Amino acid sequence: MPELSASNLVTIIGGSGFIGRNLVRELAKTGARLRVAIRHPNEAMFLRTMGDVGQVQIAQANIRDDASLANALAGASHVVSLVGTFSKGSYDALHVGGAERVARLCVEAGVERLVHMSAIGANKKSDSAYGRSKAAGEEAAREHFADVTIIRPSVVFGPEDGFFCRFAGLAKALPFLPLPGGGNCLFQPVYVDDVADAIVAILGDDTTAGQVYELGGPRIMSLKETYEYVLETTHRSRLMPSIPFWAASFAAIFLQMLPGNILRPDQVQMMKSDNVVAENALTIADLGIAPVPAEAVMPAHMRRFRKAGAYEQD
């Protein structure tokens, strides 16, 4: 069960995002050398301070381009691909074509371990194009790199997340929070640091090669329960009208055009299925990690959404 060390070079594709920057911090603690591959290196220079001098490199690479990606993979012993999008027009190019390109070039570069980030809900028969593209991406990765380890997180929470903080921001701006389909869709939010720790554990344990891990937190919450938790934490009160899926899909056609892409039609389709860990799946517990509950982390990060801001008393 070899652990990572300075003899290892880990390339993180898409390492400047929400999950990536937390992963860089945790991987740097192992002593491994890190190469963060992104399209715009100038936007990731802050990552260099997360390790010792020279430990974290920033490299330009585009997951749509063989040459730049091959350069980013050269000499790497381990690779983590975190690239993903909620833009439907890029699903095939990034989730499928990108997964295929990364896996194929990893084989050509002699990479020992590859971790591919997918998502709970990856299914060829999914109602959403996102879920279908994630499933196709998993297949594309396996076709070239048979021992790829796949992780499927539920929604990921933490500072500046797109879940609790996003809903808190909407509650601050809107007089109501709509519940598509009654808000019965279930989520199993997982802490971003736990996802990073899971990847570190996978990279340091060869017995995880070829496995699929579904990552969820300790609590399952419906969308309605999520709204209620956000409102309670931010000391707000909002109407939560239930709307049918067809009406939510119609509204999303226009909402996706607003700044921040408030809601997309495909996201409404995703709400027709629960986003929770499957009963027989390998989980974060199988990696020796006790997941952190949102209640232990998010109140501090959502204080700024209260009426009087971060200084409002509990």
Q: How far apart are CA 29 and CA 119, in angstroms?
A: 26
Of all helices (H) and strands (E), which one includes residue 221?
A: strand 221-222
Task: Please tell me the pTM assigned to this model.
Answer: 0.95
Distance CA 171, CA 236 (A): 8
If you write DSSP's letter for every residue of 147-172 in order, what string do you get?
Answer: T-EEEEE-SEESTT-SSHHHHHHHHH
DSSP state of 139: H
Statement: residue 57 has pLDDT above 90 = yes
User: How far apart are the C-alpha atoms of 40 and 46, rounded to whole Å?
Assistant: 13
Q: What residue ranges define each of the domains in the chain, with the CATH number in brackets?
A: 9-154+191-216+276-291 (3.40.50.720)
State the pLDDT confidence band at 301, using cuts at 50, 70 and 90: very high
Alpha-carbon distance 218 to 40, whole Å?
36
Average pLDDT, the chain: 94
Q: Tokens 């095939």 appear where?
A: 92
Cite the DSSP H helix spans in the chain. Answer: 18-28, 66-73, 99-109, 129-144, 164-173, 192-203, 223-233, 245-255, 265-270, 298-302
Per residue in 241-296, pLDDT (tens digit) is 999 999 999 988 888 877 767 788 889 999 999 999 999 999 999 999 999 999 99
Q: Is the pLDDT of residue 41 over 60?
A: yes
Residue 1 in this model has a pLDDT that exceeds 60: no
pLDDT in tens, 102-114: 999 999 999 999 9
pLDDT digits (tens, 9 = 90+) for 16-40: 999 999 999 999 999 999 999 999 9
User: What is the rounded CA–CA span in Å between residue 302 and residue 297?
Assistant: 9
**Cβ neighbour number for residue 151 with a 10 Å cutoff:** 26
